[in-house]
Chain A
């Protein structure tokens, strides 16, 4: 009998009835961690000495989980998957993690990510690439690659993630699981290594909407150490779950989801979009009206650039604390300038350095208005457009990406530029701080694909319920990797 492939409530019942102990769950999870490490390289650290916790009424108590390696964990190596912090052991724990600890959750490993969250492939961590457990010739997407792979492979029911562009929601789709980032500020970012502060969200990767709600209930809360956090103590996500969403109205966006937008579509893309539109039909049975809205193509085309400009600008500033002087492997040189230069030159991967150059360039006095300020203006236009949509609809429903997980050897530059908006639209959820959840909605070429539900700020319960109801119409709840034999 295994438990780590089950849902939280079921595991909790087993613990309560004494069928299994917290220690046994930890052993199972550690054993599975090693298998998945072997196969997918999903972990920076496996916590062999993880200790059981008392089983209480709290659903999370005694149950193992994973932590993305950009969460600061006291006494436990926290690298952000970067050589610049390869030996960094913090002396304080991120608020979201201490909240989970106070619910009795047991961390069993720290998961690999794209270096500091800056990547969408899961291939840029300092410990090597993360492979997709469904097909090890494919990527998980990123940056929460290790968390997604581990949850999909049944290492534990959930792992924490962080999402700056789509870093929870895309790997979730590629791994056939649920990825949820709540409204900006619902979960404190204190102790999360920053990438782009105005876009960074904490969140969770799990295998059901129910589990995602339970975990975020455990992570969230106003925090005196994070001024952008807000009081959500009157919001009980799990207790508010209902499949009765009759009368709600949702929409999809023509320019993103309609197959006619992609005249040269690959067969995978066609299949993916067809599957998406078939999933939309399930809403009829739920009594939900689905409509198609139009968004100015010019605005949508600007989306990816807006993201690059804002995220790189904030990142280059946020990571200026990485000098190797206070923490990290201090570089040996005759003067502080060379010390910093050596440390940063050898520590960061080329991809990150490229982003720093972009970030510095767009913030330079002579470029700032043209790039940075314009990006902020367009960000506002996009958010305003989405908010306008939310006046008439409870959520925007869109396909995640242009198909299933990509192969490692697929040349990124060969990607069809026409599908860029399809690949990048989840970033609007970060621009607006919107609650946004991805759930699995089928298979393309034998690999999982996902559908995304995004709603207005503070409307998390509504978004979760739409996802919860939709999930119940499909057979993918608590799905774990089916291995081909």
Chain B
């Protein structure tokens, strides 16, 4: 490994999930379990149907283009990519090739990997339509056209990534951007993200900025999870290094492979010489249209605060640790939850503790997402206020939370129902303490001799109050009463 450097380029496909309708069709853009429920005649390419561009999808694509520091075209064009496959009803996909200009060209993105800042150059980003989804059975196949025509963004990077970790860190940054900018849920479990990965290796010491020094490019198609991307890259690096060591690397042709999750390996699909000629040409049914500077400006102005900005705010303004801030901004929904909690008046540090330690732990364990959480930010604030005012103890609050989640009732209701409340009344506690001390004069002596009997007294008070005595007040009163004797 130390003799080689690795060059990785990515093609990341991400469905735009935040439009009401599909990219060239008025059918609903949405995930559905029921096959063929979100379709219009154009999605199945019935004769005479025509594409109509969804302006909202173009807007979101332009937003992504701007975030990636790409150049936006003067005119929008679409092109046809012609090939036959049963999941492609028209026999062509409406997409954008690099000529004429796609929605974004030649940008870059800075991202962090293991605490280091990296930059990847973006070759282009373009807007296209997704294909239908197919399922193959031994004697038949089924086609679901719900996905046909869903807007898809394809992002193509230059081969500026040098390890699987960098590739995954880049993809995670992109996912965060898509979520924060309101472009996509970017959920790979829903099949919204799919990647093609290009991997090549070259001898260390040679200048990687000169393409002449690059090794033979191997493209790995259809890797559908970030874990898959990491594993496919690592497998491919090792495979290529083995060829180098064997002395057979130079015989390897430029090729396309696929990642096979069952065998955990990449499998040869076709050589570059067998590459499909897609016969691109400009889609004649969509007239080219000019992107007005005003519209572009309004899109630029609509780009919201993204994860890095929020993280910085959390560290500098809320004084959170870099680690906690990172945990909070990783998923936009979590960060939004945090921000809402703060906007309701919660202490930023306290709220961060609740979310990073208790809530995320619970979600993780139950395999839930924060949007499925019963506890709303308002409820969390109520719970925190009860602790703050001394109504319940911090320990009790954890129990209350568990009950809230279990019984799906508001914290105030749970507190009332369980009779959980904290006794913070000096006289009530003092009376109990005096009684306990009176019963155990020997243990007071032991305490004075240095033996630890203090916890026993606390325990007895808690027992007598069914755990409701304010612990710090109890401790204080016990000290005072012992000192009096």
Q: Do A and B bind each other?
A: yes
Say which one of A184-192, A232-240, A264-272, A346-354 lies at the interface with B. A184-192
**Which of B47, B51, B86, B277 contacts A88, CB < 8 Å?**
B47
Decide if A320 touches B286 in the complex (CB within 8 Å): no
Decide if A228 touches B91 in the complex (CB within 8 Å): no
Decide if B48 touches A321 in the complex (CB within 8 Å): no
- Residues facing A in B40-68 (CB within 8 A) are 41, 44-53
- Residue-wise interface mask of A (357-369) relative to B, using a CB-CB cutoff of 8 A (1 in contact, 0 not): 0001001110010
Decide if B47 touches A364 in the complex (CB within 8 Å): no
Q: Is residue B80 contacting chain A, with contact meaning CB distance below 8 A?
A: yes
- Residue-wise interface mask of A (62-87) relative to B, using a CB-CB cutoff of 8 A (1 in contact, 0 not): 00000000011000001010000100
Interface SS, A side: loop
**Which of B92, B281, B285 contacts A227, CB < 8 Å?**
B285
User: Nearest residue in B to A116 (C-beta to C-beta)?
Assistant: B47
Q: Is residue A16 contacting chain B, with contact meaning CB distance below 8 A?
A: no
Q: Is residue B191 contacting chain A, with contact meaning CB distance below 8 A?
A: no
User: Nearest residue in A to B134 (C-beta to C-beta)?
Assistant: A336
Decide if B50 touches A317 in the complex (CB within 8 Å): no
| Chain B residues with a Cβ closer than 8 Å to the other chain, count | 29
Decide if A226 touches B50 in the complex (CB within 8 Å): yes
Q: Is residue B421 contacting chain A, with contact meaning CB distance below 8 A?
A: no
Task: Give bound CA distance, A78 to B41, whole Å.
Answer: 15
Q: Is residue A415 contacting chain B, with contact meaning CB distance below 8 A?
A: no
Q: Is residue B427 contacting chain A, with contact meaning CB distance below 8 A?
A: no
Q: Is residue B248 contacting chain A, with contact meaning CB distance below 8 A?
A: no
Decide if A227 touches B286 in the complex (CB within 8 Å): yes
Q: Is residue B304 contacting chain A, with contact meaning CB distance below 8 A?
A: no
User: Nearest residue in A to B51 (C-beta to C-beta)?
Assistant: A227
Task: Give bound CA distance, A317 to B284, whole Å.
Answer: 11
Decide if A320 touches B82 in the complex (CB within 8 Å): yes
Decide if A317 touches B82 in the complex (CB within 8 Å): yes
Decide if A198 touches B141 in the complex (CB within 8 Å): no
Task: Give bound CA distance, A92 to B89, whole Å.
Answer: 18
Decide if B41 touches A91 in the complex (CB within 8 Å): yes
Q: Which residues of A contact B51 (CB under 8 A)?
A: 227
Q: Is residue B456 contacting chain A, with contact meaning CB distance below 8 A?
A: no
Q: Is residue B466 contacting chain A, with contact meaning CB distance below 8 A?
A: no
Q: Is residue B287 contacting chain A, with contact meaning CB distance below 8 A?
A: yes
- Residues facing B in A163-204 (CB within 8 A) are 189-194, 196-198
Q: A197-B285, A363-B279, A364-B277 are in contact. Are A325 and B50 (CB under 8 A)?
A: no
- B42–chain A nearest beta-carbon distance, Å: 8
Q: Is residue A314 contacting chain B, with contact meaning CB distance below 8 A?
A: yes
- Residues facing A in B72-115 (CB within 8 A) are 80, 82, 84, 86, 89-92
Decide if B287 touches A72 in the complex (CB within 8 Å): no
Q: Is residue A340 contacting chain B, with contact meaning CB distance below 8 A?
A: yes
**Which of B47, B48, B286 lies at the interface centre, i.e. has the most chain A CB atoms within 10 A of its CB?**
B47
Task: Give bound CA distance, A321 to B88, whole Å.
Answer: 8
Q: Which residues of B contact A192 (CB under 8 A)?
A: 48
User: Nearest residue in B to A224 (C-beta to C-beta)?
Assistant: B52
Decide if B48 touches A323 in the complex (CB within 8 Å): no
**Which of A94, A325, A363 contacts B281, CB < 8 Å?**
A363
Q: Which residues of A contact B47 (CB under 8 A)?
A: 72, 78, 80, 85, 88, 90, 193-194, 321-322, 327
Decide if B90 touches A227 in the complex (CB within 8 Å): no
Q: Which residues of B contact A78 (CB under 8 A)?
A: 47
Decide if A191 touches B52 in the complex (CB within 8 Å): no
Decide if B52 touches A320 in the complex (CB within 8 Å): no
- Residues facing A in B278-295 (CB within 8 A) are 279-281, 284-287
Task: Give bound CA distance, A327 to B48, whole Å.
Answer: 13
Q: Which residues of A contact B44 (CB under 8 A)?
A: 326
Q: A227-B52, A314-B284, A317-B281 are in contact. Are A326 and B141 (CB under 8 A)?
A: no
Q: Which residues of A contact B89 (CB under 8 A)?
A: 321, 326
Task: Give bound CA distance, A152 to B277, whole Å.
Answer: 47
Decide if B46 touches A326 in the complex (CB within 8 Å): yes
**Which of B49, B279, B280, B286 contacts A190, CB < 8 Å?**
B49
**Which of B279, B285, B287 contacts A364, CB < 8 Å?**
B279
- Residue-wise interface mask of A (265-303) relative to B, using a CB-CB cutoff of 8 A (1 in contact, 0 not): 000000000000000000000000000000000000000
- Residues facing A in B203-253 (CB within 8 A) are none
Decide if A336 touches B86 in the complex (CB within 8 Å): yes
Task: Give bound CA distance, A196 to B14, whole Å.
Answer: 32
Q: Is residue A225 contacting chain B, with contact meaning CB distance below 8 A?
A: yes
Decide if B90 touches A321 in the complex (CB within 8 Å): yes
Q: A85-B47, A226-B50, A327-B46 are in contact. Are A317 and B287 (CB under 8 A)?
A: no
Q: Which residues of B contact A365 (CB under 8 A)?
A: 277, 279
Q: Is residue A398 contacting chain B, with contact meaning CB distance below 8 A?
A: no
User: Nearest residue in A to B81 (C-beta to C-beta)?
Assistant: A317
**Which of B84, B143, B285, B287 lies at the interface centre, i.e. has the most chain A CB atoms within 10 A of its CB?**
B285
Q: Which residues of A contact B91 (CB under 8 A)?
A: 317, 319-323
Q: Is residue A148 contacting chain B, with contact meaning CB distance below 8 A?
A: no
Q: Which residues of B contact A94 (CB under 8 A)?
A: 48
Decide if B284 touches A92 in the complex (CB within 8 Å): no
Question: Contacts A189-B48, A368-B279, A372-B281 given; 18 further ones with Cβ under 8 A?
Answer: A71-B48, A78-B47, A88-B47, A90-B46, A92-B46, A226-B50, A226-B285, A227-B51, A227-B53, A227-B285, A227-B286, A314-B281, A317-B80, A317-B82, A317-B91, A317-B279, A326-B45, A364-B279
Interface residues of A (CB under 8 A from B): 71-72, 78, 80, 85, 88, 90-92, 94, 189-194, 196-198, 224-228, 313-314, 316-317, 319-323, 325-327, 336-337, 340, 360, 363-365, 368, 372
6 A-B pairs with CB atoms under 8 Å apart are A92-B46, A189-B50, A193-B47, A317-B279, A363-B280, A364-B277
